[in-house]
Amino acid sequence: MVERANKPSALAATPGLPPQAQVNISDDNSMVTAQLPTGETIEILLHGATILSWKDAAGDEKLWLSENAKLDGSGPARGGIPLVFPVFGTNSGHAVEKLPQHGFARNSRWEFLGKSTSEGATAGVKLDFGLSSQNLDEATRKLWPYAFGLIYSVTLDRESLNTTLVITNDGEVPFEFQTLLHTYFKVNDIESVQVTGLEDSPYVDKLDGLKVKNQSGTVTFTGETDRVYTPAKGPSHPIVISDGGKPRFRIVRDNLDDAVVFNPWVDKANSLADFTPKDGWRKMVCVEPGSVSKWQTLEKGDAFEAAQTIYLE
Q: What is residue 13's predicted lDDT score, i.e. its pLDDT?
A: 47
Q: Mean pLDDT, the chain, as a whole number? A: 92
Residue 52: name the closest of 37, 70, 27 by CA: 70
Does residue 201 have a pLDDT over 90?
yes
114 lies in a domain? yes
Q: Sign of the CA dihedral 206, 207, 210, 215?
A: negative
d(CA 122, CA 110): 28
Does residue 15 have a pLDDT over 70?
no
Over residues 20-36, the pLDDT tens digits come to 889 999 989 999 999 99
Any idea what the CATH number is for the domain that residue 233 is in? Answer: 2.70.98.10
Q: What is residue 121's predicted lDDT score, i.e. its pLDDT?
A: 54
Q: Any known ligand binding at 22?
A: no
> Average pLDDT of 56-82?
95
- Catalytic residue numbers read 182, 288
d(CA 85, CA 136): 13
Q: What is residue 227's predicted lDDT score, i.e. its pLDDT?
A: 97
Compare 76 and 98 and report the one with higher pLDDT.
76
Tally of domains in the chain: 1
Q: What is residue 96's predicted lDDT score, i.e. its pLDDT?
A: 78
269 lies in a domain? yes
d(CA 157, CA 42): 10
11 lies in a domain? no
174 lies in a domain? yes
Bridge partners, 156 (sequence order):
125, 161
> Average pLDDT of 108-116?
95
Among 79-93, 130-144, 189-203, whose mean pLDDT is lowest? 79-93
Q: What is residue 118's predicted lDDT score, i.e. its pLDDT?
A: 73
15 lies in a domain? no
43 lies in a domain? yes
Does residue 248 have a pLDDT over 90?
yes
CB 112 within 8 A of CB 32: yes
SS3 280: helix
d(CA 42, CA 53): 5
Confidence of residue 19 (pLDDT cuts 50, 70, 90): confident
Residue 203: name the closest of 239, 161, 245, 163 by CA: 239
Q: How many CB atoms lie within 10 A of CB 165?
A: 24
Q: What is residue 16's predicted lDDT score, i.e. its pLDDT?
A: 59
> Average pLDDT of 203-207?
96
Does residue 17 have a pLDDT over 50?
yes
β-strand pairing of 31-35 with 111-117? unpaired
Q: Any known ligand binding at 78?
A: yes
Q: What is residue 101's predicted lDDT score, i.e. its pLDDT?
A: 86
Q: Which domain holds residue 26?
A: 22-312
Among 95-99, 161-165, 188-192, 273-277, whose mean pLDDT is lowest? 95-99
Does residue 278 have a pLDDT over 70?
yes
Contacts of 141-148 spanning 24+ positions with Cβ under 8 A? 143/98, 143/99, 144/86, 144/95, 144/96, 144/99, 144/104, 146/171, 146/173, 146/175, 147/171, 147/172, 148/86, 148/175, 148/298
> Average pLDDT of 41-60?
97
Among 10-14, 188-192, 243-247, 295-299, whose mean pLDDT is lowest? 10-14
Does residue 79 have a pLDDT over 50?
yes
Does residue 66 have a pLDDT over 70?
yes
Q: What is residue 89's predicted lDDT score, i.e. its pLDDT?
A: 80
Q: Any known ligand binding at 101?
A: yes
Q: What is residue 1's predicted lDDT score, i.e. its pLDDT?
A: 46
Radius of gyration of the chain (CA): 22
CA angle 242, 246, 248 (to 5 degrees): 55
The terminus-to-terminus CA distance of the chain in angstroms comes to: 66
6 lies in a domain? no
> Average pLDDT of 228-237?
94
